[in-house]
Structure 1
Amino acid sequence: MFGRIHRRFVCMSSRLAKKKSQAEQKWIGRQLKDPYVKASHALNFRCRSAFKLLEIDDKFRLLQPGFSVVDCGAAPGAWSQVAAHRVNSAGTDFTSPLGTVVGIDLQHISPLDGVQFLSNHDVADHETHAKLSGLLPGGRAHVLLSDMAPNASGFRELDHERLVGLCSSSLMDLAEKILSPGGSLLCKYWDGALARHLQEKLSLEFASVQSLKPNASRKDSAERYFLARNYKRPVKGKTFF
């Protein structure tokens, strides 16, 4: 099955490459050689990024059955797929607690069993926060995931600054509203001069913060992730037991 899918992908990509620019042809060639792209087809993941979260979760066990998870920048849904399986939000494991997964993105996201998507929603919008509170048990989440990033401008430092700003403002604001004390946050950033400032800000809110680069992140990419655990601050207006 996977072989047929991959052959169709190769043939289609080869035809498209003839009409593409040099940069686009280079991207297609890289995709054809990428083992994570091939594996994502074989395992029916929506994209290769699923393996980044799988690797991190295998090591740190962030996603436990029964947990509530919010996936920011969820499109096309690969991280939500992983989260849904690990927290049992589709109820496929009758012996484990039932979890909750909510994915948010500015783009449309195709439906997925066990996941409630807020398509065409902005993480920074207070209306989105209100909808999240209604979807999450008790209005809170155990884990906040973010693989989101602004559209690339082509200027590395500018893109770095914009992503760090997105994490330190919109994501931290969302954490203050919905993340349970003791909860975890995993967010993507692009390495650069401001990464240390983001780490310092996270360290004020979480007991531990570490920088990770999973194997599925391409070696030539500035992409990294901050894993922040044991959230210190209570959610405003909420009482926890």
Structure 2
Amino acid sequence: MAKNTTGKNTSGRGQRDLTVTVKTARGRKMSSTRWLQRQLNDPYVKRAQAEGFRGRAAFKIMEVDDKFRFLVPGARVVDLGCAPGGWIQVAVPRVNALGEKQGKAVGRILGIDLQEVEPLPGAEIHQLDFMADDADEVVKEWLGGKADVVMSDMAASSSGHKQTDHLRIIALCEAAAYFSFDVLEVGGTFVAKVLAGGAEGDLQKLLKQKFTKVMHVKPPASRSDSSEKFVVATGFRG
């Protein structure tokens, strides 16, 4: 049960955001209680709810794109592991997928996920395992050609062991990178979430062979206590 720790009336001008504490219910793990309390007090979670985004991750891609500018009008975008759809929500207006920006090129967005995802205006969403043998050809057929951007916010299920989780997400990111090599146009961009932990050196070496620039960034929306960061590779060599 959540409660206001101050007991004061929170209405009126000049009110402060109050910290919410969560009691540990019988049968609930302390880690679950901590996660719930963090969610309830996370300003990005509150902002996502207020602005209609499907998750706080929307602000991560927003901040990364503000810095590197790859979601431009007319861009063709593939979002791997797109559930719940927050990254797509950010991409739709930026690539002009709905054609609302007069005089600007109209982009296309293709969302891919293993699970079913609720539709989003301006995007085409499919259930597909991107690691299937013919997935790259299927995606190019759906997209009507090659992509300008392949992006991924995927993460493997947590094992609770930090090094194991690091290796799993790096392996997933490498698989996404190889997929991008098959579907990107020359000059295209690859963006993916990684976890710092020592094994990302091989991934960076691989990307440097295929792209003219490879950078790492930790956007403000990424929690400071998380080892999460994002790799941004631009200028695909083909």
Following the alignment from structure 2 to structure 1, what is the Cα–Cα distance between the partners of residues 131 and 37?
36
SS of 2:231's equivalent in the other structure is strand
Cα pair 2:78 2:147 within 8 Å, conserved: yes
Alignment of 1:59-78 (within 5 A): 59-78=67-86
Q: Which amino acid aligns with 1:190?
A: L
Which residue does the alignment assign to 1:214?
219
Q: Distance in 1 between matches of 2:118 and 2:137?
A: 22
Query: Who is 1:146 aligned against?
Result: 152
Deviation at 1:14, TM superposition (A): 6.2
Q: In the aligned structure 2, how far is the partner of 1:75 from the partner of 1:175?
A: 19
Q: Aligned partners of 1:26, 1:171: CA distance in 2, in Å?
A: 32
Amino acid at match of 2:139: L
C-alpha deviation, 1:131, in angstroms: 2.2
Percent of aligned positions that are identical: 39
TM-score (ref. length: structure 2): 0.87
Give the one of 45, 48, 57 matched to 1:49.
57
Instruction: Say whether 1:176 aligns with 2:181.
Output: yes
Give secondary structure in 2 for the equivalent of 1:26: helix
The answer to whether the aligner puts 1:156 opposite 2:159 as a matched pair is no
Partner of 2:120: 112
TM-superposition CA deviations, 1:24-65 (whole Å, max 9, x none) = 111111011111000001110000000001111111111100
1:114-136, Cα deviation, whole Å (9 max, x unpaired) = 111112x1111134323211121
Q: 2:210 aligns with which of 177, 198, 205?
A: 205
| Aligned: 1:129 with 2:162 | no
Aligned to 1:7: none
Superposition deviation, residue 92 in structure 1: 2.4
Larger Rg: 2
- Higher helix proportion (structure 1 or 2): 1
1:34 aligns with 2:42: yes
Q: What code does the residue aligned with 1:98 have? A: V
Which residue is equivalent to 2:5? none
